A = this chain, B = another copy of it.
Amino acid sequence: MVLATAETTTSLDFGPAVALSCRECGARYDLGPIFACSDCFGPLEVAYAWTPPGDAGAAKVTREQIESGPANIWRYRALLPVPADVASHRNLAPGWTKLVKAENLGRELGLRSLHIKDDSGNPTHSFKDRVVAIALEAARNFGFHTLSCSSTGNLAGAVTAAAARAGLDACVFIPSDLEEAKIVMASVYGGRLVGIDGTYDDVNRFCSELIGDPLGDKWGFVNVNLRPYYAEGSKTLAFEIVEQLGWRLPDQIVIPVASGSQLTKIDKAFKELIALGLVEERPYKIFAAQALGCSPVSAAFKAGHDFVRPVKPDTIAKSLAIGNPADGPYVLDIARRTGGAVEDVTDAEVVDSIRLLARTEGIFAETAGGVTVGVLRKLVANGVLDPDAETVVLNTGDGLKTLDAVSALARPTAVIRPSLDAFRTAIADHS
């Protein structure tokens, strides 16, 4: 574990962030490239001036200030560990993606008010651009020259693209059996792309080793030694949903679970908005979605456990294929505390749900989006979701990255010569 040195601390500018604090024991640390509590090994989180027991008035952030900001995540810079002038830095400026009023899908599922937060509109077409943008600022603060990560695919592309724009080196690690589109995307921006023969969990363990080695000196692993900063980026999904709903918390939200970090931070963001008086407090339920082939959190929820037993992933939803999810226990806790649930769907349901979403809303989601829409459908059918409550479901990635999931089913109706007769015949054949 690397501790922050006095040298790096002097010139740091993390805006409103004042410290790191242990999620388990509350121990506080100076802001640095560290991620685990040296007392209890709990995960570290970013603490702000207003973080309890701090001063809730310290933020002095108003809706009007936010609304006058840029159409990207930097409109929330006063609520993130970034300097005030972050919008002028060279970065991909992700976020402010569409919150789509999904009337067609809602009608088909029997939901009165359904919205899709569609993060396929981000620069590299997944929500990972959000978290990487925050980690990039931390890497700059700590004087790192190389941006790195372990990735199930989307993150690798987000990191290499962000490094390219920022002028940093990149070296990213992925399981070698990823989808072709994710491999190409992770490589095309330059930097080094290293395939690892193994699962994502193997890649992740390897990166933890590398951090302790001189080879990894001055490297910012966005989801390891920069993880406390990185993870804060997921809060912007919640901030945007609340603002786009007209400064209102949704009643119900369905979130995909890989490591569980995103779900945990969305809950944190809702609580921060309430604490800061930016949104009215009201109950909300958080639902977590997994693919059956990698559903350790769902299995634990259904078994009533408060621990998560690791699994070896086997699902087409590769971006969610983390068999040993670091934040799994927190996901269980949040689902139970808010009155939500954790559910899973089969790969066949994932494919069917991708097609359902495309056909009804014109949104082509990657497999992770098939997982959330599939779980949404299952929860409605099982009577777990309230069909009359305002519901938001996340699509965190783009169908173009997981073409294989649907390519066998998404073919031309017919291939013909350019003649009306041929077309008449083809129509007759297919009607």
Determine whether the beta carbon of B189 is less than 8 Å from that of A364: yes
Identify the interface centre among A104, A163, A413: most chain B CB within 10 Å of its CB.
A413
Are A411 and B187 also in contact (CB < 8 A) when A205-B418, A400-B125, A420-B209 are?
yes
Tell whether A430 is near chain B: CB-to-CB under 8 Å: yes
Tell whether A303 is near chain B: CB-to-CB under 8 Å: no
Tell whether A275 is near chain B: CB-to-CB under 8 Å: no
Are A185 and B412 also in contact (CB < 8 A) when A206-B418, A423-B210, A426-B194 are?
no
Interface string of A35-47 (1 = CB under 8 A from B): 0000000000000
Task: Tell me the chain A residues, 195-213 only, with Cβ under 8 Å from chain B.
Answer: 195-198, 202-203, 205-206, 209-210, 213
Determine whether the beta carbon of B71 is less than 8 Å from that of A189: no
Determine whether the beta carbon of B430 is less than 8 Å from that of A192: yes
Select A189's contact among B90, B184, B362, beta carbons within 8 Å: B362
Contacts of A362 in B (CB 8 A): 92, 123-124, 160-165, 189
Tell whether A115 is near chain B: CB-to-CB under 8 Å: no
Contacts of A361 in B (CB 8 A): 164-165
- Interface segment among A175-183, A337-345, A373-381: the answer is A175-183
Contacts of A400 in B (CB 8 A): 125, 181, 185, 398, 400-401
Q: Which residues of A contact B (CB under 8 A)?
A: 71, 90, 92-93, 96, 98, 103-104, 121, 123-125, 160-165, 167, 174, 176, 180-181, 183-185, 187-190, 192-198, 202-203, 205-206, 209-210, 213, 215, 354-355, 358-364, 398-401, 403, 406-407, 410-420, 423-424, 426-427, 430
